[in-house]
Structure 1
Amino acid sequence: MSTSMQNIPEKRRVTGSLRESQMSQDGEGHRGSILDADPTQVFEKQVDAEQETLMMELTRLVQKSLRESSWWERRGIDCTILTAVFITLPAGFLLLGSSQPLYFLLGLLIMGVAHAVITVKGAHMASHGALSESPTWAKFWAVFFIEVCGSFSARAGVQAHVKMHHAYTNVIGLGDSSTWKIPFLPRSVYLFIAPLAVPVITPVVAMGQMKGQSPSQIVRTVLCVCLGFFSQYYLLRCVSGLSCGSALLVMLLCRAMFSLPYIHVNIFQHIGLPMFSSTCRPKRIYQMTHGVLNLPRNPLLDWTFGHSLINCHVEHHLFPYLSDNMCLKVKPIVSQYLKDKQLPYQEDGYLSRLSLFFHKYQELMVFAPPITELVGVQ
């Protein structure tokens, strides 16, 4: 036993005093079982305990910050941003009815930014229940932002994002971001042209995702998607005074305005990072720190997509119930803690990731990512 344990790295070994304390608490019979155990199993149990302790310690630090934060910090700032965006919509519709090109383009910009904030930031926070502490209101906001505004099924969205992607981040075959891969497309088409079709593809995919849902859920989703679509179309016709074709074209342009960075962000922050086996994956803190990456602060994307999707994605995956603003507030706590514990805190620039995916498109997006040496570490 002593000879085998010498081969284990010092920083991963539990101190002798701790082992003696545990054995003295468990009695002589248990002490004998430890001495007779397989060294590999003992090591794995020790690493398990270490990683669980790290996550518990970090959770306590974050929860302390959460308790000390006001409602304004926890939810108010993000709710205010969403409210402000809705307030700008009337100006956007009026400007789109102007015959002046600059006013028209300003109206188009307002509508595009508003759509991105509502359907990305709003829908993302709503899917995690981060907009309200009330379960009833949380469900209402999820349906409103995801189905009415985002033209997607709230139930399918929560299932795919929260219950699969977050629970099985970078686990092959489960939460490995495979849904974002379209292997038959050339890299230039995938990265710079195909995302423009997201507004058309989204409701089509939503219909396919409703398989297995109850009739009432299917009817609700169809009605909500139609309500959102025809409300915008009606306002463009009646308030902006656009023709049928012009209204549809403006809807497409507004909804596709931020589709390129939307697709980019979704693949940059997970694909190309360590992958894990579904039968032998590491503990949560190890999984998230190795399989998630932060992008740098970006004023435009921070406001439209939210901090949890851009520069606080690591924090978001560790604590998905936090709002965008709270993710930003606990970012120094999380980053410093991970660095102190010698755990990775991965960050990279937007253009750097874009260059990586462009030059390694075949490896990262066409072929299945290789299982790394991290698979099986417990």
Structure 2
Amino acid sequence: METAARGAPRGGGGERLLGELEARVQDVVRASSWWERHGLDCSILALSLLALPPGFLCLRSENVLVFVLGITILGVCHYTLTVKGSHLATHGALTESRRWSKIWAHFFVEVCTAFPAEDARYGHVKMHHGYTNVLGLGDSSTWRLPCLNRYVYMFLAPLLIPIITPLVAVERLRKVRLGAALRALGLISLGLYSHYWLLRHMSGFRSPASALACMLCTRSLLAHPYLHVNVFQHIGLPMFSRDKKPRRIHMMSLGVLNLPRLPVLDWAFGHSIISCHVEHHLFPTLSDNMCLKVKPVVSQFLREKQLPYNEDTYLARFRLFLSHYEELLVHAPPITELAGLQ
């Protein structure tokens, strides 16, 4: 399939356009306070940590509503720490200190998420961001499970994410150096056991089975939108070959999509994953709040230059994937040839 980007300049100019956009965005960043650049997002993560004790204590109650409140608090906090925290830490967007960025990555990715930090950085930052929608490299193919039918994939498979994640982590650890593997395994074990221990001793669960069931429940509370969002924002958009991929600004404007602001997901996943995903892929080291702040600048620039700025609703994408599941998530997507943009 051969096409040109909707109104995109044909031939060259990619570096010039990206440089012009970077200059505009940097003007906004330089005019922003530390609170805007890092403070607000760090405060959200701190509040999530502070909300954990009340959440565990709510599970001691025999009142059903209070118990459900505890599950909700722990579930939202879990996803805020594991998705928002891990995502920002992996990109070094929580602090300007490299040392602290590394520490936070180990905490949020390994302790909270139960996944090796180095592998997360390689797979997400180096591959997915470096080769967005390039088939075989950064095309989100890890989220495709052709063996499942559409209803199992969209409704049941997300519930297994809390179980699959540590299992995949163990498999990945076999491929890294021994020291890093032992450190990651220790931190992952610490995170999982701490969750279990708090449920037994702070929440008062009497049996291991009930505590494990509660762990699964809280860790899968937002698993459905987590899986959905990861496929909605890339799969179904133009895909490229590694030898004919377009310039970076064209790659990101064509292959990334923003969803509308959704309060719970904005809090738990972050703006850079929900409503500012285009901005995040263009400027991955910006925090969630800064992605939201530069969003008007980025959207206006892309539209001025007649480049795509993809947006769609969660419900519309859900319907699209449910009705075109075979085409989008079973069969290999076709390569889009962008004439004049390589």
Shared fold (TM-score greater than 0.5)?
Answer: yes
Q: Which residue of 2 aligns with 1:304?
A: 268
> Out of 53, 56, 60, which is 2:23 matched to?
60
Matches within 5 A, 1:205-216: 205-216=168-179
User: Match of 2:286, SS?
Assistant: coil
Does 2:245 correspond to 1:281? yes
> Out of 355, 369, 373, which is 2:333 matched to?
369
CA, structure 1 residues 175+12, in 2 after alignment: closer, same or farther (shift >3 Å)?
closer
Matches within 5 A, 1:211-226: 211-226=174-189
Counterpart residue identity of residue 333, structure 2: P
Matches within 5 A, 1:76-155: 76-155=39-118
Task: Give the distance between the partners of 1:160 and 1:335, measured in 2 at CA.
Answer: 27
Task: Give the distance between the partners of 2:254 and 2:217, measured in 1 at CA.
Answer: 37
Say whether the 8 Å CA contact 1:274–1:374 is kept in structure 2: no
Task: Give the distance between the partners of 2:240 and 2:49, measured in 1 at CA.
Answer: 41
Task: Give the distance between the partners of 1:11 and 1:304, measured in 2 at CA.
Answer: 34
Q: Who wins on radius of gyration, i.e. which is larger?
A: 1
Q: Which runs of 4+ in 1 moved over 3 A?
A: 10-13
Counterpart residue identity of residue 197, structure 2: Y
Q: Which residue of 2 aligns with 1:255?
A: 219
* Aligned-residue offset at 1:375: 7.0
* Aligned-residue offset at 1:195: 0.7
> Out of 354, 361, 376, which is 2:318 matched to?
354
Say whether the 8 Å CA contact 1:281–1:375 is kept in structure 2: no
User: Match of 1:331, SS?
Assistant: helix
Say whether the 8 Å CA contact 1:281–1:376 is kept in structure 2: no
Counterpart residue identity of residue 57, structure 2: L
Deviations 1:283-341 (A, max 9, x none): 10000000000000111110110000000000000000000000000000000000000
Counterpart residue identity of residue 370, structure 1: P
Counterpart residue identity of residue 348, structure 1: D
User: Match of 1:157, SS?
Assistant: helix
Does 2:298 correspond to 1:334? yes
Task: Give the distance between the partners of 1:84 and 1:184, measured in 2 at CA.
Answer: 40
User: Match of 2:238, SS?
Assistant: coil
Unaligned runs of 5+ in 1: 1-9, 14-46
Q: Which residue of 1 aligns with 2:235?
A: 271
Task: Give the distance between the partners of 2:137 and 2:173, measured in 1 at CA.
Answer: 19
User: Match of 1:310, SS?
Assistant: coil
Q: More relative contact order in 1 or in 2 (CA 8 Å, sep 6+)?
A: 2
Task: Give the distance between the partners of 1:209 and 1:67, measured in 2 at CA.
Answer: 39
Say whether the 8 Å CA contact 1:277–1:376 is kept in structure 2: no
Say whether the 8 Å CA contact 2:244–2:337 is kept in structure 1: no
Task: Give the distance between the partners of 2:202 and 2:334, measured in 1 at CA.
Answer: 53
TM-score of the two chains, using structure 1 as the length reference = 0.87
Task: Give the distance between the partners of 1:212 and 1:234, measured in 2 at CA.
Answer: 30
Q: Which residue of 1 aligns with 2:278?
A: 314
TM-score of the two chains, using structure 2 as the length reference = 0.96
User: Match of 2:299, SS?
Assistant: helix
Aligned positions, number:
335
Say whether the 8 Å CA contact 1:294–1:313 is kept in structure 2: yes
Q: Which residue of 2 aligns with 1:293?
A: 257
> Out of 178, 185, 202, which is 2:141 matched to?
178
* Aligned-residue offset at 1:259: 0.5
Unaligned runs of 5+ in 2: 1-6
Deviations 1:239-274 (A, max 9, x none): 111022211111000000011000000000000000
* Aligned-residue offset at 1:121: 0.4
Counterpart residue identity of residue 175, structure 2: G
CA, structure 1 residues 11+86, in 2 after alignment: closer, same or farther (shift >3 Å)?
closer
Task: Give the distance between the partners of 2:9 and 2:180, measured in 1 at CA.
Answer: 50
Task: Give the distance between the partners of 1:186 and 1:11, measured in 2 at CA.
Answer: 37
> Out of 215, 226, 242, which is 2:205 matched to?
242
